[in-house]
């Protein structure tokens, strides 16, 4: 645990070694994303769109998604580092590679959580947005979401390893699929009715869309948590075993 926490601390410092003022561009990008989207939802509801979410629910969903973006759809730097050849350096350290990736990724979350998400959480009432969870199961769902996010990311790392010279393609596909199928950008309840169940049951549906739906009081908690547990139990062994079997090819590619 000491090594894990120290790795997180080093990753945090890596994000702020030029000063916290360099976080301002990232903060501005997030604000430029969330503010227009909040106004868009207001226009959509005002025009009488037939969707399952009320306006307060839509606003809370989008606002919280912006605050917890990194946790809701986990993205380690392993995929990009693999095709850049940097991932191999993790094997020179006396610490498990996957544990290093988890610790490093969690450490990089720190600056934005402290200097963007936390202040924006307390400013939510100013925008007329409720940050009170409508379900006590939200926190468990968020934990399962983060866990599953790492498993899915590691699986895509294996994909980039096997793509070798086209490893960048796996990285691009991973970003595109996660954005569309996780419910992080567009809530599932806004989609056509015949697509909602499909988006909910596929593995990406247990990422952002699961805890966010519970937060705004949508969906059956037992169904959502059951799916998240199922995908965690299924995908984690696949991620670990496939990564172990892919290491030799990754080293060969990097060498």
| 3-class SS letters over 146-185 | HHHHHHHHHHHHHHHHHHHHHHHHHHHHHHHHHHHHCCCC
| Cα–Cα distance measured from residue 202 to residue 182, given in angstroms and rounded to the nearest whole number | 9
Model pLDDT, residue 252: 45
pTM for this prediction:
0.89
| Cα–Cα distance measured from residue 153 to residue 239, given in angstroms and rounded to the nearest whole number | 9
User: Residues 44-56: pLDDT tens digits?
Assistant: 888 877 777 888 9
User: Residues 151-161: pLDDT tens digits?
Assistant: 999 998 888 77
| Cα–Cα distance measured from residue 115 to residue 149, given in angstroms and rounded to the nearest whole number | 23
| Cα–Cα distance measured from residue 227 to residue 236, given in angstroms and rounded to the nearest whole number | 14
- Domain extent for 216: 2-254
User: Residues 108-146: pLDDT tens digits?
Assistant: 999 999 999 999 999 999 888 999 999 999 999 999 999
User: Residues 192-234: pLDDT tens digits?
Assistant: 778 888 888 999 999 999 999 999 998 899 999 999 999 999 9
| Cα–Cα distance measured from residue 136 to residue 127, given in angstroms and rounded to the nearest whole number | 24
Mean pLDDT of 162-178: 70
Q: DSSP assignment, residue 245? A: H
Which two three-digit tokens encode residue 185? 């950008």
Structural domains of the chain, count? 1
């Amino acid at each position: 645990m000491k090594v894990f926490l120290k790795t997180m601390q080093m990753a945090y410092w890596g994000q702020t070694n030029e000063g916290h003022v360099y976080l301002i561009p990232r903060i501005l990008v997030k604000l430029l994303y969330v503010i227009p989207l909040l106004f868009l939802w207001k226009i959509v509801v005002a025009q009488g769109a037939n969707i399952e979410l009320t306006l307060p629910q839509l606003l809370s969903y989008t606002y919280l998604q912006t605050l917890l973006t990194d946790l809701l759809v986990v993205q380690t730097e392993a995929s990009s580092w693999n095709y850049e050849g940097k991932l191999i350096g993790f094997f020179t350290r006396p610490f498990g590679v996957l544990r290093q990736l988890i610790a490093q990724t969690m450490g990089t979350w720190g600056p934005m959580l402290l200097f963007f998400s936390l202040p924006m959480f307390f400013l939510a009432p100013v925008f007329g947005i409720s940050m009170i969870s409508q379900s006590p199961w939200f926190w468990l769902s968020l934990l399962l979401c983060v866990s599953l996010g790492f498993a899915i990311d590691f699986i895509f790392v294996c994909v980039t390893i096997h793509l070798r010279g086209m490893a960048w393609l796996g990285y691009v596909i991973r970003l595109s699929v996660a954005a569309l199928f996780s419910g992080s950008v567009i809530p599932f309840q806004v989609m056509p009715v015949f697509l909602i169940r499909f988006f909910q049951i596929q593995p990406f549906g247990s990422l952002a869309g699961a805890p966010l739906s519970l937060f705004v009081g949508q969906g059956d908690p037992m169904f959502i948590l059951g799916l998240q547990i199922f995908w965690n139990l299924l995908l984690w062994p696949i991620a670990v075993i496939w990564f172990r079997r892919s290491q030799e090819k990754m080293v060969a590619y990097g060498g």
